[in-house]
Copies of this chain bind each other. A is one copy, B any other.
Amino acid sequence: MVFTLSVEKGRTAMSTAQETPGGEMQPWAEVTPDAARRLLIAAVEAFAERGYHATTTRDIAGRAGMSPAALYIHYKTKEELLHRISRIGHDKALDIVRTAADAGGTPAERLSDAVRSFVRWHAGQHTTARVVQYELEALGPEARAEIIALRRQVDAEVRRIIQDGVATGEFDVPDVPGTTLAVLSLCIDVARWFNVDGPRTPDEVGALYADLVRRMVGFKG
């Protein structure tokens, strides 16, 4: 009678729906079957709390309500879990930035949108983001190389927006690569310090950071 387990963790139990009532995309909906998804979510939580190396496979399996051996039916190693998490998270991050970069509007609008949504994700999904952004070095060489390539694409998208703004004269940026790096660094580090019990909502942090970045690129609006 283990069957009721798939409903026990109600937060992630909706089997095919990808949208919450709030309209936010349900994360990890692409991970199937259900048991694999529950293990992956358990791993995200454990990795975010304790770090990859300090997390045991027994802990992950326990959080998912399974025995330690069950993990190895769905994933070959503990590292594969991290790889899958990192890959999905970086895909999402790239998607967020690319959507904003490809949208219409002035460079200032596109940059603000990109920063706002990128920061909102790092704050709202800070558990995932923490793993995605800070546990990179635990991956093996090949997996790490794959992830680094995705990060370079994120960097390229942001640099593109800033370059557009410089070209139109909207922005005043002496060092485009350096400023791009700083903007991304600023946004990513939100995942490290953001606290759900803190005074700011993800929306508020997104708005604040969009304004700060607007200033960094010398936009006079």
A contact residues vs B (CB 8 Å cutoff): 50-51, 53-54, 134, 137-138, 174-175, 178-179, 181-182, 185-186, 188-190, 192-193, 200, 205, 208-209, 211-212, 215-216, 218
Contacts and interface: CB of A to CB of B under 8 A. Distances in A.
A189 B193 contact: no
A208 B178 contact: yes
Contact of A182 (B50, B178, B209, B218): B209
A189 B187 CA distance: 10
B189 A208 contact: no
A193 B181 contact: yes
Contact of A212 (B134, B182, B189): B182
Closest 3 CB pairs of A and B: A53-B53, A189-B189, A53-B54
A179 B212 CA distance: 8
9 contacts: A51-B53, A178-B200, A179-B212, A182-B212, A185-B192, A186-B189, A215-B216, A215-B218, A216-B216
A182 B175 contact: no
A138 B51 contact: yes
Contacts of A179: 208, 212
Contacts of A182: 186, 208-209, 212
A185 B53 CA distance: 25
